[in-house]
Structure 1
Amino acid sequence: MARPRSDDKRAAIMAAATRIIAAQGLGAATAAIAKEAGVSNGSLFTYFDTKADLFNQLYLELKADMGAAALGGLPAADERAQLLHMWSRWMRWATTHPHKRRALAQLQVSDQITASTHEAASRTMTGMGRILERVRANGPMRAAPAALVFALCNALAEATIDYIIGDPDHVDEHTRSGFDALWRMIG
């Protein structure tokens, strides 16, 4: 008879995997993740068929968490105000949860993340994409491929986040400077 699954144990495994991947990378042993979560290695595989399954599910959860944080409380306002809201909350999420950001960055480039998982993750980011699309529709990059624009926005976000982490006394100024650069690029 299969053991019943616990939402709390699954959440503990996901949180532990995030911390371990952020600290040790994708090569970390599942035993280290299980130990950090306070479960047996066998119990980990009650929730995830394989290490790759764990990574794919974690990637989806982290992307959804980031997207929800960025879009939470989105004002019914013009595109610039919505983009600023999204940008500010994205910066806050990344700097408040650096272990999630590091784990997500590693998972993003992992060969273990399947194409279908990448597609599902993209769907969780649809709200952010819609805002970026509306903003760029009449801006200087309207003719550029959307994938290029999104990659440039992500690179600018990563640079801004790194700068905020390096100079945490000026979070608001750096967030605003990054946003102003983003707006000039696509707005």
Structure 2
Amino acid sequence: MNEKRAQILATALKLFVTNGFHATPTSKIAKEAGVATGTLFHHFKTKEELINTLYLETKGEMTQSLSTKVEEQETIKGKLRQIFFNAIHWAVNHTNHQLFYSQFSNSAFISNLTRKLGHQRFQFIYDILKQGQEKEILKPISIDLMFEAIDGTLNGITKYLIEHPEKITDEQCLESAFALYWDTLKG
């Protein structure tokens, strides 16, 4: 990735999380990124394009992390457990990305096309949920609803862990959090 483009994205991430979309002018992003405003607009035609690009790149990084070692698991519960702990580790190690995802995943600033492309990156999770339903392990409800329920649960848990970093190494807390997540899914 182009170094200036990467710097713009990293700066935008920090500023969007800290200040929100409206309170983050492109001039401030460019200044803090150490590039000319023209350079920012060379890489991103609009602020909306910038935030949509950041959203897709965040989803891409998250997806790569979430899928780690999932296929090594033999059971549906094992696969979903792996996704859960991958999500927790990713969120606490990429706090600004997690906060950005939580803050902007339902935002009007994210285009429908970007949202659709981002959602496609989670197709492997949808496939696992569908397999779990076919094996009558998971609740027989809409896969979209189930995905939203676990996404919301994970966002709540990661928010809690980010706000209470001492709990990140508390095995009992993490196991209780997984039990909450699993209870959302199991049939």
Please show how residues 114-129 of structure 1 align to structure 2 within 5 Å: 114-129=111-126
Q: Which amino acid aligns with 2:116?
A: E
What residue number does 1:3 align with? none
Alignment of 1:81-96 (within 5 A): 81-96=78-93
Identity %: 26
Q: C-alpha deviations, 1:142-175, integer Å up to 9, x for none?
A: 1x22222112111211221122223322323333
Match of 2:61 among 50, 59, 65: 65
Alpha-carbon separation, structure 2, partners of 1:166 and 1:105: 14
In the alignment, which residue of structure 1 is the partner of 2:106?
Answer: 109
What TM-score results when the alignment is normalised by the length of structure 1?
0.88
Q: 3-state DSSP class of the match of 1:10?
A: helix
> What is the CA-CA distance between 1:76 and the residue it aligns to?
4.1
**Separation (CA, whole Å) in 2 of partners of 1:34 and 1:62:** 20
The aligned residue for residue 35 of structure 1 is: 31
TM-score, normalization by structure 2:
0.88
Q: 1:161 matched to which residue of 2?
A: 158
Q: For residue 4 of structure 2, what is the aligned residue in structure 1?
A: 9
- Partner in structure 1 of residue 49 of structure 2: 53
Residue 141 (1) aligns with residue 139 (2): yes
Query: Tell me, which stretches of 5 or more residues in structure 2 are unaligned?
Result: none
CA distance in 1, matches of 2:150, 2:56: 20
Structure 1 alignment gaps of length 5 or more: 1-5
Higher RCO (Cα < 8 Å, 6 or more apart): 1
SS for the counterpart of 1:111 is coil
Supply the distance in 1 between the matched residues of 2:165 and 2:132 (Cα, whole angstroms). Answer: 29
Q: RMSD over aligned Cα, in angstroms?
A: 1.7
The number of residue pairs the alignment matches comes to: 181
Q: Is the 8 A contact 1:135 1:186 kept in 2?
A: no
**Is 1:78 equivalent to 2:75 in the alignment?**
yes
Partner SS state of residue 184, structure 1: helix
CA shift, 1:117, in A, is 0.8
Partner deviation per Cα, 1:74-93 (whole Å, 9 max, x = no partner): 22422111111110010111
Deviation at 1:182, TM superposition (A): 1.9
In the TM superposition, structure 1's runs of 4+ consecutive aligned residues that sit over 4 Å from their partners are none
For 1:33 and 1:77, the matched residues in 2 are separated by: 46
